[in-house]
Amino acid sequence: FSPQSLLLLRPTLLLYPLPQTSRRVPPPAPVMASSVSLVDCPTPTPSAMAKTNAVLVPSRNVHAGVLQETHLTSHEFLLECPRGAYSIARTCGTTAIPEFQFHMNRLATSFQTMCEEEAIPTSHPLRQEFRDAERVEAAILPPLRRLMQTMTNRIPKGSVEFKTSFVLALPSMASSQTPDDCVFIQMEQYRRTMPRDPCRVVVRLGGRAHAEAKDSQWVRDRSKLKQGIPPGVEDVVMVSEDKMLEGLSSNFFGVRKGTLHTARDGVLAGTIRQLVLDQCQERNIPVVLEAPRLCELDTFQEFFITSTSRLVLPIRELFIDCGEGPLSCSPAQLTSPPPLSRSGSFTSVVCTIPLPKDATQFYAQTLTFEDHPVAQHMRKCVEAALAATSTSIIP
């Protein structure tokens, strides 16, 4: 991971220390836009997106950084960064981040857990430097503020929102053993309006190797579970031992007789998942911290996923694909499924992995869910809670 490798990528905004001889790129003219909801900002115009797509900043010498253009997405950024603990947040009103302390805690906990797995002693300088959320925040806030200030100088506050990615590189992967060389931050402008319409997901066998830590290696590992997924599918929900755990980039909930069900073990708990649980507690909505089981699908009335980019998104169609490799059914079958209902009959497709007998009636089937009252209610609750749980990054 080096400045030279990044500068060869397609242009957008890159904040990185460069030699004194480098010429500053003149700032683009401000993009004019009217104020809109903090939660549902419109997709920017192509010209605005070209000027304000993404910003990447390693914290080292951040105050000497100069702007260069790059088109790094959040996914590409995580692939380019050295392996480490990571967290992805969204902005609220451009300059605030909901559940900011949650992200700092998760970074600190994940970093220490990964260091334990790497047999890095607790006396190591970087383990001491990032030993708790307070120290992680002290390392991240200065570059994050500069990054955010750069964006607010170019975009009217509240007109767009950003996906913000943080990485703490492992000592074994960092270019040096100083904190400044281990902290990486990127802000990417959301490319689309936040999805609201009920979505389609694919269910596949899988799961995280180490769900207790948010490890950037997962960004590489999960790619094989995406193979053969056609356009129009929002996420892949992973199943292990008949338990529907989580999506590749989301948490997963089922609703049965007014009670929410979501996995406690074997998943990485996200910030929006926590907001949903908090809202349920405030409103006395019952929650069972157990994963919905595939063999009990017909007992659930609705499902939804949660993430920073989606908030709460109802699921209209579950396609159960538990074969090996690419989709057991062809993409054509998935993109144009028969009009099935939860109580309807299904056409079986042969699966190549032995599965529990009491769940085989659902494998390689498409289940549809037309009504989503609980998911829609939880979305409204989370939207209302976003601003209240946000930390202002720029004083």
The pLDDT of residue 362: 53
Strands 235-240 and 287-288: what pairing?
unpaired
103-116 confidence digits (pLDDT tens): 999 999 999 999 99
Most confident option among 121-125, 210-214, 217-221, 349-353: 121-125
> Given this model, what pLDDT does residue 85 score?
95
Contact 66, 56 (CB under 8 A): no
Instruction: Say which residue, 71 or 327, is predicted with more confidence.
Output: 71
- Please state the length of the chain: 395
User: pTM for the whole thing?
Assistant: 0.76
How far is Cα 252 from Cα 312, in angstroms, rounded to an integer? 10
Each residue's pLDDT tens digit, 137-173: 999 998 899 888 887 787 776 678 889 999 999 998 8
Task: Determine contact, residues 362/295, Cβ cutoff 8 Å.
Answer: yes
The rounded distance, in Å, linking the Cα atoms of 355 and 302 is: 24
Over residues 300-319, the mean pLDDT reads 94
- Average pLDDT rounded to a whole number, residues 175-188: 81
CB 308 within 8 A of CB 270: yes
Arithmetic mean of pLDDT, 178-194: 80
pLDDT for 115 equals 94
Q: What is the pLDDT of residue 25?
A: 31
109 or 56: whose pLDDT is higher? 109
Residues with Cβ within 8 Å of 337's Cβ and at least 6 positions away in sequence, in order, are: 317, 319, 366
